[in-house]
């Protein structure tokens, strides 16, 4: 009969028994139902033993079906989808649909949702033990298996179109979803099924899988069509590193080994056909709290979508650690920072991120707004806006980690940034103050920032306004050089040594990590500087040759300069050499050229006097 109606063979190999009174009971031994055509010889479903018993008299006399605990041992269920997308249960669905279409439609007399509900069903419980469910999707390449499956369902009662289940639990060993088998468990105290409205209502659900412990308050589930559950969930603290390892994803190596170690989450979760959407999300990653929404794709190449706002994060924790190849003499700060290639290749993502503050490489950003696009190892942060040391930052940052050698490109602008705080953060130096404005359009290649610096190219334009350079007093150095030429005692320095500037302008191209500053203009209260030079970002050195022209009426130079000094210094153009490390360059007048200029001037004056005498004769 089964084969005639389904085209599948039913095999009952075990012993079967039937009892009548007081329980109408059926027991069956090992039984198997064949698979659909084209899905192999393996049975679609089978079990080792099954038992079902019903009290006979209540069923006959009052239509009350009182069922003892129904049991199913050794269930084997094999579900499959072939490469054409057809499932091995599709023939059952097709037959049900064809039967439904053949049945005549009976008009509803009592209004929607009304039906005869005189029968009563009471089941003491359902128990499925030592079972296996296999699911293989040839199209998606998915192969998942639930081993050691046990299902327990409490007392079940029905009436007036409602089925109530007193408790439901599942536990199994899940294989195929993660690199190693993981336990799976689900439990709820009560389940209510409204057969008229075709909805399922559950008490709060506790679920565990992949090391995650999840609590969920599930909204009523409508099963009339595609099932898309919605629930408010809370996920207890877990390690993201451990989760990635279970999913056979190598976690990134980070500077802080504890990073990615503690995550908690609360949200409203909606499970769709292509993604799991999380709204009203509160996500805590280590020490940072995010709020917003997130969509997690169910396919391997799909896109994460996020709209998040957070408080504070230290990004240095998540960067690659200091290379082990760094020499003993080098400090951790001097070691190259690697570009997190593995992390960038891990996923595709789109969205926006707002942060109250973030720290990176000694710099503190605040009020951060950034749009993130990550595709196949290519990351773009644009637009990227933030407050930085009292000023504004706007940038377009791109990292391409899709190839063998990562590339980094930036197009950045800063305005009104406090130079002292910036220098302290970047170079741990506090020898300069003022305000900096600038634009930087640069790109480079390499696995770490040191390699990127060596290949850096592009253009830089900067303006420094209303500041001081600590450690060097250019006015004193000029007076000292004059005294040397005049063979006079040098003046007493004013301490601490300091040079004020009103404006400094620098611009030029960058090639192979060297900034060629073709035009340098600087305005000081007592002179004007012009010239050119180079900044070697790799060696972290500067080499400038500039010329100083002292004003006829300089400002803010003190009262100790004599009229003769002012006259001498304002008559000549004074060469100044700026050399040494970026963090503490030496600023010295080129004494040799000052002497040569003075001698030349003296000779010119003598020759002019002699020539005048000859002409007067």
What's the whole-number average pLDDT of the chain? 86
DSSP string, 333-358: GGSPPBP-HHHHHS-EEEEEEEEEEE
Chain CA centroid to CA 247, Å? 18
Tell me what pLDDT residue 111 has. Answer: 45
Residues 73 and 153 in one domain: yes
Are 324 and 338 in contact by the 8 Å Cβ rule? The answer is no
Tell me what pLDDT residue 339 has. Answer: 86
Residue 192: pLDDT band by 50, 70, 90 thresholds? very high
pLDDT at 112 exceeding the cut of 50: no
Q: What is the arithmetic mean of pLDDT over 253-271?
A: 93
CB-side neighbour CA atoms (13 Å) of 184? 19
CB-side neighbour CA atoms (13 Å) of 269? 19
Residues 55 and 125 in one domain: yes
Structure tokens at 295: 């969509």
Residues 473 and 553 in one domain: yes
Which among 48-62, 319-333, 450-464 has the top mean pLDDT?
Answer: 450-464
pLDDT at 252 exceeding the cut of 80: yes
Residues 433 and 496 in one domain: no
In a domain, 411, yes or no: yes
Q: Looking at 157, 174, 196, which one is the last position of a domain?
A: 196
Are 502 and 526 in contact by the 8 Å Cβ rule? The answer is no
582 or 426: which leads in pLDDT: 582
Are 390 and 417 in contact by the 8 Å Cβ rule? The answer is yes
Q: What is the arithmetic mean of pLDDT over 326-332?
A: 45
Going 387 to 391 to 392 to 395, the CA torsion angle's sign is negative
Query: Residue 155: helix, strand or coil by DSSP?
Result: coil
Residues 472 and 610 in one domain: yes
152-156, 196-200, 329-333, 523-527: lowest mean pLDDT where?
329-333
Q: Which residues pair with 441 in a beta bridge?
A: 411, 459
Instruction: Return d(Cα 221, Cα 531) in angstroms, integer.
Output: 76
Residues 165 and 17 in one domain: yes
Q: What is the arithmetic mean of pLDDT over 240-264?
A: 90
Residue with tokens 């192979």: 512
Are 52 and 67 in contact by the 8 Å Cβ rule? The answer is yes
Are 544 and 578 in contact by the 8 Å Cβ rule? The answer is yes
Which among 39-48, 553-562, 566-575 has the top mean pLDDT?
Answer: 39-48
Tell me what pLDDT residue 561 has. Answer: 74
In a domain, 31, yes or no: yes
389 or 565: which leads in pLDDT: 389
Q: Looking at 176, 196, 216, which one is the last position of a domain?
A: 196
Tell me what pLDDT residue 70 has. Answer: 94
Burial label for 480, CB within 10 Å (0-12, 13-18, 19+), is middle
Residues 479 and 341 in one domain: no
Residue 113: pLDDT band by 50, 70, 90 thresholds? very low
In a domain, 251, yes or no: no
pLDDT at 549 exceeding the cut of 60: yes
CA distances from 61 to 120, 122, 158, 161 (A): 12, 15, 18, 21
Query: Residue 43: helix, strand or coil by DSSP?
Result: coil
Phi/psi of residue 452, nearest 5 degrees? -60, -40
Residues in Cβ contact with 445 at an 8 Å cutoff, skipping those fewer than 6 apart? 405, 406, 407, 408, 451, 452, 455
Q: What is the arithmetic mean of pLDDT over 243-257?
A: 87
Q: pLDDT tens digit string along 496-528?
A: 888 888 899 999 999 999 999 988 998 888 778
Residue 542: pLDDT band by 50, 70, 90 thresholds? very high
In a domain, 155, yes or no: yes
Instruction: Return d(Cα 617, Cα 613) in angstroms, integer.
Output: 7
Which among 3-7, 279-283, 556-560 has the top mean pLDDT?
Answer: 279-283
Q: Are strands 348-360 and 303-314 parallel, antiparallel or unpaired?
A: parallel
Tell me what pLDDT residue 190 has. Answer: 96
pLDDT at 558 exceeding the cut of 60: no
Angle at 117 between CA 114 and CA 119, to 5 degrees: 170
- Listed in sequence order, the DSSP H helices in 73-124 are 90-102
Are 414 and 397 in contact by the 8 Å Cβ rule? The answer is no
The 8 Å CB, 24+ separation contacts for 319-325 are 319/254, 319/255, 320/252, 320/253, 320/254, 320/255, 320/448, 321/253, 321/254, 321/255, 322/255, 323/448
Structure tokens at 154: 């409490």
Query: Residue 177: helix, strand or coil by DSSP?
Result: coil
Structure tokens at 224: 């009339």
Instruction: Return d(Cα 408, Cα 418) in angstroms, integer.
Output: 26
The neighbour count for residue 565, using CB atoms within 10 Å, is: 19
44 or 61: which leads in pLDDT: 44
pLDDT at 614 exceeding the cut of 70: no
In a domain, 414, yes or no: yes
- Listed in sequence order, the DSSP H helices in 268-418 are 341-345
Q: pLDDT tens digit string along 335-389?
A: 577 888 888 888 889 999 999 999 988 888 999 999 999 998 999 999 999 999 9
Instruction: Return d(Cα 417, Cα 393) in angstroms, integer.
Output: 8
Residues 17 and 153 in one domain: yes
Are 426 and 362 in contact by the 8 Å Cβ rule? The answer is yes
Tell me what pLDDT residue 116 has. Answer: 46
In a domain, 280, yes or no: no
Q: Quote the domain boundaries for residue 177.
A: 1-101+117-196
Q: Looking at 196, 217, 252, which one is the last position of a domain?
A: 196
36-45, 265-274, 321-330: lowest mean pLDDT where?
321-330
Residues 437 and 489 in one domain: no
Structural element, H or E, at residue 597: helix 591-616
pLDDT at 326 exceeding the cut of 50: no
Q: Which residues pair with 231 in a beta bridge?
A: 218, 269
Q: pLDDT tens digit string along 436-451?
A: 999 999 999 999 888 9
Residue 233: pLDDT band by 50, 70, 90 thresholds? very high
pLDDT at 290 exceeding the cut of 60: yes
pLDDT at 149 exceeding the cut of 90: yes
Are 75 and 30 in contact by the 8 Å Cβ rule? The answer is no
Phi/psi of residue 208, nearest 5 degrees? -135, 135
Q: What is the arithmetic mean of pLDDT over 234-258?
A: 90
Quote the percentage of the chain above a pLDDT of 70: 88
Residues 447 and 499 in one domain: no
In a domain, 151, yes or no: yes
Tell me what pLDDT residue 88 has. Answer: 94
91-100, 131-140, 389-398: lowest mean pLDDT where?
91-100
Residue 114: pLDDT band by 50, 70, 90 thresholds? very low
Residue with tokens 């080129």: 590
Residues 383 and 532 in one domain: no
Tell me what pLDDT residue 286 has. Answer: 95
Residues 60 and 191 in one domain: yes
Q: pLDDT tens digit string along 385-412?
A: 999 999 999 999 999 999 999 999 999 9
Count of structural domains within the chain: 3
> For the chain, what is the largest distance between any 2 Cα atoms, rounded to a whole number of angstroms?
156
In a domain, 592, yes or no: yes
Tell me what pLDDT residue 556 has. Answer: 53
Angle at 44 between CA 40 and CA 50, to 5 degrees: 145
Candidates 436, 318, 418; CA nearest to 364 is 418
Structure tokens at 209: 């899988």
Tell me what pLDDT residue 328 has. Answer: 44
Instruction: Return d(Cα 129, Cα 326) in angstroms, integer.
Output: 58
Tell me what pLDDT residue 518 has. Answer: 86
Instruction: Return d(Cα 272, Cα 296) in angstroms, integer.
Output: 10
125-134, 413-422, 480-489: lowest mean pLDDT where?
480-489
What does the buried/exposed string (b/e) look like for 321-349 if buried means 16 or more CB atoms within 10 Å of the residue's CB?
ebeeeeeeeeeeeebbbbbbbbbbebbbb
Chain CA centroid to CA 528, Å? 48
The beta-strand segments (E) located in 189-242 are: 191-194, 199-202, 205-209, 212-218, 221-222, 230-238
């Amino acid at each position: 009969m089964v084969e005639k109606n389904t085209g599948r063979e039913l095999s009952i190999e075990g012993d079967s028994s039937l009892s009548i009174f007081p329980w109408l009971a059926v027991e069956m031994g090992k039984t198997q139902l064949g698979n659909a055509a084209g899905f192999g010889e393996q049975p679609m479903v089978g079990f080792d033993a099954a038992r079902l018993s019903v009290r006979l008299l209540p069923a006959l006399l009052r239509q009350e079906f009182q069922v003892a605990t129904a049991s199913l041992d050794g269930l084997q269920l094999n579900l499959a989808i072939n490469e054409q997308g057809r499932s091995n249960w599709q023939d059952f669905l097709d037959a049900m649909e064809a039967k439904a279409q053949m049945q005549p439609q009976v008009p509803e007399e009592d209004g929607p949702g009304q039906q005869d509900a005189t029968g009563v069903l009471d089941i003491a419980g359902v128990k499925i033990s030592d079972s296996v469910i296999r699911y293989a999707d040839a199209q998606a390449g998915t192969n998942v298996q639930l081993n050691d499956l046990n299902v327990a369902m409490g007392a079940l009662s029905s009436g007036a179109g409602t089925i109530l289940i007193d408790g439901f639990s599942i536990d199994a060993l899940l294989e195929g979803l993660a690199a190693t088998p993981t336990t799976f468990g689900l439990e709820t105290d009560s389940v209510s099924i409204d057969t008229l409205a075709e909805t399922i209502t559950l008490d709060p659900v506790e679920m565990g899988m992949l090391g995650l412990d999840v609590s969920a308050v599930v909204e009523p589930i409508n099963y009339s069509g595609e099932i898309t559950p919605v629930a408010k969930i809370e996920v207890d603290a877990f390690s993201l590193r451990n989760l990635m390892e279970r999913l056979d994803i190598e976690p990134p190596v980070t500077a802080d080994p504890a990073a990615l170690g503690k995550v908690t989450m609360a949200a409203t979760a909606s499970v769709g056909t292509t993604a799991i959407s999380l709204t009203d999300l509160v996500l805590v990653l280590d020490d940072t709290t995010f709020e917003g929404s997130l969509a997690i794709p169910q396919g391997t190449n799909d896109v994460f979508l996020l709209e998040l706002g957070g408080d504070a994060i230290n990004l240095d924790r998540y960067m690659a650690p200091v290379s082990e190849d760094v020499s003993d003499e080098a400090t951790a700060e001097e070691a190259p920072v690697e570009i997190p290639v593995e992390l960038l290749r891990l996923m595709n993502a789109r969205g926006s991120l707002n942060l109250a503050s973030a720290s990176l490489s000694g710099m503190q950003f605040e009020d951060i707004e950034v749009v993130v696009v990550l595709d196949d190892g290519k990351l773009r942060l644009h637009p990227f806006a933030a407050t930085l040391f009292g000023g504004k930052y706007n940038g377009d940052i791109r990292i391409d980690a899709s190839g063998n050698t990562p590339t980094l490109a930036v197009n950045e602008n800063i305005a009104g940034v406090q130079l002292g705080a910036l220098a302290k953060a970047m170079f741990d130096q506090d020898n300069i103050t003022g305000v900096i404005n600038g634009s930087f359009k640069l790109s480079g290649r390499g696995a770490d920032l040191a390699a990127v610096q060596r290949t850096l190219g592009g253009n830089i334009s900067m303006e420094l306004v209303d500041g001081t350079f600590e450690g060097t007093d250019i006015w004193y150095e000029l007076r000292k050089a004059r005294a040397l030429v005049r063979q006079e005692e040098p003046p007493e320095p004013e301490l601490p040594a300091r040079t004020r500037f009103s404006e400094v302008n620098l611009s030029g191209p960058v090639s192979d990590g060297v900034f060629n500053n073709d035009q340098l203009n600087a305005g000081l209260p007592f002179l004007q500087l012009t010239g050119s030079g180079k900044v070697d970002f790799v060696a972290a050195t500067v080499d400038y040759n500039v010329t100083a022209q002292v004003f006829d009426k300089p400002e803010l130079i003190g009262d100790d300069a004599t009229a003769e000094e002012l006259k001498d210094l304002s008559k000549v153009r004074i060469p100044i050499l700026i050399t040494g490390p970026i963090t503490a360059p030496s600023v010295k007048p080129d004494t040799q050229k000052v002497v040569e200029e003075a001698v030349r001037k003296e000779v010119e004056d003598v020759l002019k006097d002699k020539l005048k005498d000859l002409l007067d004769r």
